Amino acid sequence: MLFQLVALMSCFLLAWLLSRTIQRYFATVDQSSGVFKIGVESFSRVLWPLLALVFLFFAKLILGKFQHTGLLKLFFPILSSFALIRFSFYVFRRAFVRDGTVGNTLLLFEKVFASLVWLALVLHFTGMWETIFEALEEIILPVGKSKVSLLAVLQGIASVALTVVLALWISALLEARLLLIPNMHSSLRVVLSRLGRAIFILLAILMSLSLVGIDLTVLSVFGGALGVGLGLGLQRITSSYVSGFIILFDRSLSIGDMITVDKFSGAVTQINTRYTVLKGSDGIESIIPNEMLVSNPVQNLSLTDRAVVLVTDFTVAYDTDLDSLFPALIDVVAQVPRVSMATAPSAYLLRFGADGFELRVGFWIEDPENGRTNVISDVNRAILVLIRERGIELPFPQREITVFQAPTKTAA
């Protein structure tokens, strides 16, 4: 017993020291992504029980040659259950957490899963595990003309859930790996991650159905029904999915692009397989079906060059000296912070209006994602200061109204 206690404490201590060393290494890795940070933190919790389980296995193997190892055998299922719970939490959070925030639903599911694992451990120690299996095997459920035991149904559900979660976990690892490639286009990363997830989920479902014992040839009937459904009522949904892959493949849109489609405009924040999310300058997010982005004309302000031209129009009196005003306008507009220096501002005489000279000042900006109204406002204020300093009149339409008083009628 003394040797087992010493071996047990040594396993725990070595596992703790080694896990701390690995955690310090992970602490030096860039954790700018919230999802990556949650994955690292979850995996750090998995390290200690996994390492302790490995050391306990070798301790049991070595001591078993000289003496009994009943105490080590007792702790083996306990550590295995603890490691299973921690590893499952790590897989769940890497597979289902997308924005760096763990939802309440996932936390509740983790608690239920941990309770089921500890319940299974109690059943194992009490010897009731085999009894419950036999009871579930005896419960028969009629499915059409066939009969299936409740144990087979539960095993099928568990196998499907396990393979799908593992597929989502592997696809999340693939997505994290793609993000580490610096020279890859963002659209190519998205399309590879989406294709990888779809392929992994399809393989997981097919594998789980094979494990349950379902003949995959029966899926041909389902495929025919799916084709009829797509042809009758799901054309637009299917078109949006296909259009999503077209957008990602031809790289016509990327995350962060400023686009205008129909009456919607904003920055592209998400490109999903069915829809694209645009966030306008007012903070409103618009969900655009990908079919609209393929079939309708789209203005992309940052496809090959992010620089865009903006203009502001105003009118000055006819006695204004335009030869001296134009250079002053160019200088004052060029001093506005967001106005691009790559292409100098310009001033134009548009037409001879009814009230004075109609002028236009054009300038370029290189960050349209930061808004256009605010920089136009800054330019207008700078022009207003210049006009007031020079005493230039800004004419406006004037109207004269004459009121005639009707003559009063005198009594006869």
Residue 108 DSSP one-character state: H
More confident: 304 or 201: 201
Neighbours of 12 (CB within 10 A): 17
Task: Look at 177 and 277; give whichever has higher pLDDT.
Answer: 277
Average pLDDT value for the chain: 77
Q: Over the stretch 325-335, which tens digit does the pLDDT of each residue have?
A: 999 999 999 99
Q: What's the rounded mean pLDDT across residues 29-37?
A: 50
Tell me if 345 sits within 8 A of 361, measured CB to CB. Answer: yes
Return the closest-CA partner of residue 254 out of 237, 239, 268, 265: 268
**DSSP strand pairing (275-279 vs 285-289):** antiparallel
pLDDT grade for 164, boundaries at 50, 70 and 90: confident
pLDDT score recorded for residue 180: 67
User: Per residue in 192-226, pLDDT tens?
Assistant: 777 777 788 878 877 777 776 666 565 666 666 66
Q: What is the mean pLDDT of residues 119-130?
A: 78
Task: Check residues 49 and 102 and name the one with the higher pLDDT.
Answer: 49
Contacts of 67-74 with C-beta under 8 Å, sequence gap 24+, read 67/3, 69/4, 70/4, 71/1, 71/4, 71/5, 71/8, 72/4, 72/7, 72/8
The secondary structure of 125-160 as a DSSP string is HHT-HHHHHHHHHH-EEEETTEEEEHHHHHHHHHHH
* Spatial CB neighbours of 180, under 8 Å, sequence gap ≥ 6: none
- Tell me if 253 sits within 8 A of 276, measured CB to CB: yes
At residue 355, what are phi and psi to the nearest 5 degrees? Answer: -110, -10
Residue 50 binned pLDDT confidence (cut-offs 50, 70, 90): confident
Indicate if the pLDDT at residue 167 is higher than 90: no
Q: Is the pLDDT confidence value at 31 over 60? A: no
Say if residue 28 is exposed, middle or buried (CB neighbours under 10 Å; 0-12, 13-18, 19+).
exposed
Q: Over the stretch 225-273, which tens digit does the pLDDT of each residue have? A: 666 665 555 667 777 777 877 777 777 777 778 888 888 888 888 887 7
Q: What are phi and psi of 206, to 5 degrees?
A: -65, -40
- Please give the pLDDT value at position 227: 66
Residue 326: other Cβ atoms inside 10 A: 16
Q: Which two tokens stand for residue 12?
A: 């725990």
pLDDT grade for 35, boundaries at 50, 70 and 90: very low
Structure tokens at 232: 């009758």
pLDDT at 381: 93
The percent of residues in the chain predicted with pLDDT above 70, rounded, is 82
Mean pLDDT of 152-158: 79
With 0-12 / 13-18 / 19 or more C-beta atoms within 10 angstroms meaning exposed / middle / buried, residue 141 is: exposed
* Residue 374 CA to its chain's centroid (Å): 29
Tell me the average pLDDT across 179-195: 68
Q: What is the pLDDT of residue 411?
A: 58
pLDDT of 361 over the 90 cut: yes
If you count DSSP H runs as helices and E runs as strands, how many of each does the chain have, helices first? 12, 10
